[in-house]
Amino acid sequence: MFRAPRLIASLAAVLLAGWVVAGDAVDPVFIFPDFGRLAVEPAPALPGNLQPGRDAPRAPALAGAWRVGWDDYKTLVVVGDGSGSFRPAWVVTYDSAGAVAVAYRARAYLDKDGTLHIDARHAIIVGPQRDNWSADSFALTEAGPVYTLDDHNRSNSGVVVERLDPKQRADYQRLLGMAQAIVGDSI
């Protein structure tokens, strides 16, 4: 007799049992390659209910580069050219000594208010602090304040300290190439 349905059902039961930890069902969306459990906090109250990287896209982001200062970190955000609603983005965060802490890929778009969103949810993180970091999604407002929200729903804020227009082609290309090289092949 054909036993595939029983085999599939048995395998499914074993796999689903792995998603139950200490009697609590774990949402499989929050299981990462290291199979660790992601502790998610309630969503924070941000200005105007802004949700960095989570608000609805209304327009594609324009290519450019931004330097953001927050806490003891500086972050370089580079948005590339592309087509469609989302543009590729690279995020490189430096510690207070100027060394790369983490880097990852993201996608960029503009919301209905013209706020630039960098959506880095569930990004693959590279860099020496990757094991202690949750990728930050960013909302860069036109007025200059920047808000972040990570995969644990922890928020933070900072400020744009520099914006580089892609029309400054040589500088933009240098930053884009540097960010791409640091992030590497992570997707």
pLDDT at 142: 87
Beta bridge partners of 162: 67
pLDDT at 4: 44
Indicate whether 182 pLDDT > 70.
Answer: yes
Name the band, by pLDDT with cuts 50, 70 and 90, for residue 46: confident
Name the band, by pLDDT with cuts 50, 70 and 90, for residue 41: low
pLDDT at 43: 54
CATH topology of domain 47-183: Lipocalin (2.40.128)
Contacts of 91 (CB under 8 A, 6+ apart): 75, 76, 77, 103, 104, 105, 106, 118, 120, 123, 135, 136, 138, 179, 183
Considering the chain, what is the average pLDDT of its residues? 80
pLDDT at 169: 80
pTM here?
A: 0.74
pLDDT at 45: 58
Condensed to tens digits (0 to 9), the pLDDT of residues 9-25 reads 443 333 333 333 333 33
Kindly list the domain boundaries of the chain, sorted by start residue.
Answer: 1-38, 47-183
Among 74, 81, 69, 84, which residue's Cα sits nearest to residue 146? 69
- Mean pLDDT of all residues in 47-57: 85
Q: Is pLDDT larger for residue 20 or for residue 108?
A: 108
